Structure 1
């Protein structure tokens, strides 16, 4: 073989082309990438014995001789065929609220119609340096689904449901046609991303909320044709709350399709954050208060009464505030029930009816207390990966090591509840 060319040798057993030296004796880029992967992920002693193309285990089944988390991550990075799920303590781990990094170069500049691709900014609002840290950037930025699944394997996650990052602010777009184009582009991108392994990656759609009729059509396309499994509803849409009858055709379509709605905050310019001068204060303020507004709207506005088969999740705001707010809403409603004619029961009864779900932060000390209020079947584990404030790769460990919850409750929070919310079985099938 001529110097500077590449061929396939024993590396092919790992699904990788072997890099050969070039004329200067330096390894080509592929070789450098391989060395980087191996240096970044520690090999266990017996990892070599696992380098063979066979299934590692089926979801929900015991896995004799399964690889370690780091070994599983390495296998994904190296492209070894076969399943690399990592059952943690016999539990099937499901991330109920993960994210894809839908940055312009990765998503919108490729998937948008030509007339929109030249925009300097695709979404409105002030730009904060969310990832800044004294010793380097915070968070992760997986460039491919394979990189994401490698990180999932290292964390110990078997299945992840993916929400957007940039498009968390889709509700702030004021141009209806442009919003429709953004939603279609994002949903196409997300569908392609999840096709890398539909048993491990599931996408949650966005729709053009300014046009409910078009939004219902896009949701049907996203679910029926693209394989997405839920609807994200932004908590902040200027001038309307999430239960405004204007949006009811969207909820009706979600109910018809049997997919859940995830209310998701953006953590940005909502609730008059300009009272603050830094991102720490803005981010601390926005998530939980926005979800409180969503809960008020959903309950008082009659979503649970009007759509009695619809499952609604309140995502990425923690759960510790929920008991306080249940009690607070009950007290307020008792004094003025006529202001909420579509609310036929106490607000707390809707939040414990089995169709309201709340994501939790693994480190929240109040989780057992929240379980006592909303029940153990309606709290979801959420990693928030790959965002700057995620505790990756320790979020699963954070929940598993706790001694204030029974293993049964941990198994529900870490997997079973999310599968019920999204109406899927282990392995991502219906």
Structure 2
């Protein structure tokens, strides 16, 4: 695998993202009939769905969607929620050909040109609404978005699956949004790493007793909770190459929430939960497990709630992680578990494998063999989603 890894950073012929073209290659080395399924792509909202679908009494409060300088923007009063340069990062490929939601057929064709037959797509700029201060407007936006991506799913005929959004700040709203999402056929939802604050300004703690009814509703719904990078970044100003510096921090945000699932009692109270960690790679998992095991052994006498299982049990029975290009994660695959990792293309972001996906997939085949690779690039995400 070392020779493969040597060629992947940067891949031969890799050009700036807007110039990349799909390249399926002669053979991916996978068993016949394997459907390559990217477990983590992104779709930019290209239709002004909130204004169009808001009730008349609230239309003046609806976030708007518009196209400007090569990217779709989301904001209010003509002001985008995101800095202009960040919008450009999110839309590195021409949004009119496939990265935006308005041309689903073009998107499917473009991904197919790189050998990708199915995808799970997370929202892009819509993440700016995760902590929108007006919770009524926030929940309404989430419900409208879920309807919209369900329509895209139906049009795609099994090629596109979207990640939904739920109310996580009160249990009644959680049940309502989950029930609606399930009825629409949406298979998973984004659970923020940072839950924001309660109405009185108190930060919400995912492992608190106050959150138990929310987790009850999630467990009863039976849908996996998906966590994704993108909520963290620079903690202080950075004058030089801030995007790169911020991304180094951004790709490793999971440990605190991971610790709450294990030590905060979330999984002990709710053993039916399934958890996905997306775009942070898989190589973080062995070190997190090792550290958690050492911490548990060292501090178990100080815990105010017993941990019911060995640390590894929680990973093996509840969790999955996605990666794009992860030579180190593949070297550690025996510790992580070949049935716990999901390959992804991350289309259409800078770090996407689009244009060299066959090289990334070849690394998986080289590391685990064709049959197990089929699980990594297809079977595991289907199992995660229940499709």
TM over 0.5: yes
Check 1:179–1:235 CA distance in 2 against 1; reply closer, same or farther (3 A cut). Answer: same
After TM superposition, the score normalised by the length of structure 1 is: 0.70
Q: 1:41 to 1:160 in 2, by over 3 A?
A: closer
In the alignment, what sits opposite 2:44?
A: 101
Q: Deviations over 1:17-44 (max 9, x none)?
A: xxxxxxxxxxxxxxxxxxxxxxx999xx
**1:129-181 per-position Cα deviation (integer Å, ceiling 9, x unaligned):** 35469xxx734522311111112211222221221112234432232112112
Partner SS for 1:403 = helix
Report the structure number with the largest CA radius of gyration: 1
Q: Work out the CA distance in 1 between the residues paired with 2:124 and 2:273.
A: 25
- Secondary structure at the aligned position of 1:231 is classed as strand
Are 1:296 and 2:259 matched, yes or no?
yes
Which of 310, 314, 334 pairs up with 2:297?
Answer: 334
Answer yes or no: is the 8 Å Cα contact 2:190–2:225 preserved in 1.
Answer: yes
Q: 245, 268, 276: which one pairs with 1:305?
A: 268
CA RMSD of aligned residues (A): 2.9
TM-score of the pair, normalised by structure 2: 0.77
CA distance in 1, matches of 2:81, 2:116: 33
- Kindly tell me: are residues 169 and 129 of structure 1, through their superposed partners in 2, closer, same or farther at Cα, counting changes over 3 Å? closer
- Cα gap change, 1:250 to 1:160, in 2 (>3 Å): farther
Q: 1:117 aligns with which of 45, 50, 62?
A: 62
Checking the alignment, whether the CA contact within 8 Å between 1:241 and 1:297 is kept in structure 2 is no
CA contact (8 A) 1:128 1:279 kept: no
Alpha-carbon distance between aligned partners in 2 of 1:140 and 1:348, rounded to the nearest angstrom: 43
1:412 Cα offset (Å): 0.9
1:351 matched to 2:293? The reply is no
- 1:220 is the counterpart of 2:179: yes
SS at match of 1:155: coil
Given the superposition, is the C-alpha separation of residues 252 and 128 from structure 1 closer, same or farther in structure 2, using an over 3 Å criterion?
farther
Moved over 4 A (4+): 121-127
Q: How does 1:259-270 map to 2 (within 5 A)?
A: 259-266=223-230, 268=231, 270=232
* Structure 1 Cα separation of the partners of residues 78 and 167 of structure 2: 18
User: Which residues of structure 2 form unaligned runs of 5+?
Assistant: 1-19, 64-75, 197-202
Deviations 1:391-420 (A, max 9, x none): 213224411355232112211100111111
Aligned residues: 334
What is the correspondence of 1:211-250 to structure 2 with a 5 Å cutoff? Answer: 211-224=170-183, 226-238=184-196, 239-250=203-214
* 1:385 aligned onto 2:347: yes
Higher normalized contact order (CA 8 Å, seq sep 6+, divided by chain length):
2
SS at match of 1:98: strand
CA distance in 2, matches of 1:343, 1:222: 32
- Say whether the 8 Å CA contact 1:169–1:234 is kept in structure 2: no
Three-state SS of the structure 2 residue aligned to 1:317 is coil
Structure 1 gap ranges (5+): 1-39, 43-67, 71-86, 425-430
Q: Is the 8 A contact 2:207 2:265 kept in 1?
A: yes
Which of 238, 242, 247 does residue 283 from structure 1 map onto?
A: 247
Cα distance change of structure 1 residues 250 and 96 upon mapping to structure 2, 3 Å threshold: farther
| 1:360 matches 2:323 | yes
Deviation digits for residues 62-114 of structure 1 (CA, Å, limit 9, x no counterpart): xxxxxx969xxxxxxxxxxxxxxxx98531211212222125x4443434441
SS across alignment from 2:368: coil
- Take 2:44 and 2:338, find their aligned partners in 1: how far apart are those partners? 31
Relative to structure 1, is the Cα distance of residues 214 and 132 closer, same or farther in structure 2, using a 3 angstrom cutoff? closer
